């Protein structure tokens, strides 16, 4: 299957700083990427849908000014957690669609574990 790469895989930062997470589709062009957050023992929660060249669509309750999403190219989307706080500590996962009409063909990144001290 197609490969989606996330970087960094884990990051520790101080409260108040910003952290950027990258999501890359390595061998296909992803017109749409999705960002999820997963707390321990919880399901993946969709944060936002990112379309190349346009503004991201955020889910209800997700602060767009806090979680900045940029999808500047067909192979790269970034999530920036601005002014991070301990409650933002979580596992962030991106996924990308490979242009197929098969709804099940979503490819996930390895995830990025954020710890805010």
Partner 1 sequence: QKEVEQDPGPLSVPEGAIVSLNCTYSNSAFQYFMWYRQYSRKGPELLMYTYSSGNKEDGRFTAQVDKSSKYISLFIRDSQPSDSATYLCAMTASGAGSYQLTFGKGTKLSVIP
Name the minimum Å distance from CB 108 to partner 1.
4
Q: Which is nearer to partner 1, 10 or 15 (CB)?
A: 10
Q: Which is nearer to partner 1, 14 or 41 (CB)?
A: 41
CB atoms within 10 A of CB 39: 12
Name the minimum Å distance from CB 14 to partner 1.
23
Name the minimum Å distance from CB 10 to partner 1.
8
Q: Which is nearer to partner 1, 12 or 15 (CB)?
A: 12
Q: In the chain, which ranges are E strands? A: 4-7, 10-13, 19-25, 32-38, 45-51, 57-58, 67-73, 76-81, 90-97, 106-108, 112-116
> SS3 for 106?
strand
Q: Which is nearer to partner 1, 50 or 75 (CB)?
A: 50
List, in order, residues 6 or more apart from 41 with CB less than 8 Å away: none
Name the minimum Å distance from CB 80 to partner 1.
19
Token pair, residue 70, equals 């940029």
Residues of this chain that bind partner 1 (CB under 8 A)? 1, 4, 6, 32, 34, 41-46, 49, 91, 93, 95, 97, 101-111, 113
């Amino acid at each position: 299957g197609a490969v989606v790469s996330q970087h960094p895989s884990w990051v520790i930062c101080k409260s108040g700083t910003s952290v950027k997470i990258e999501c890359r589709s390595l061998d296909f062009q992803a017109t749409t990427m999705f960002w999820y957050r997963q707390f321990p023992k919880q399901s993946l929660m969709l944060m936002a849908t990112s379309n190349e060249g346009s503004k991201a669509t955020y889910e209800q309750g997700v602060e767009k000014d806090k979680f900045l999403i940029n999808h500047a190219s067909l192979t790269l989307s970034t999530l920036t957690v601005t002014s991070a706080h301990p409650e933002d500590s979580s596992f962030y996962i991106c996924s990308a669609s490979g242009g197929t009409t098969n709804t099940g063909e979503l490819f996930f990144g390895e995830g990025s574990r954020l710890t805010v001290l």
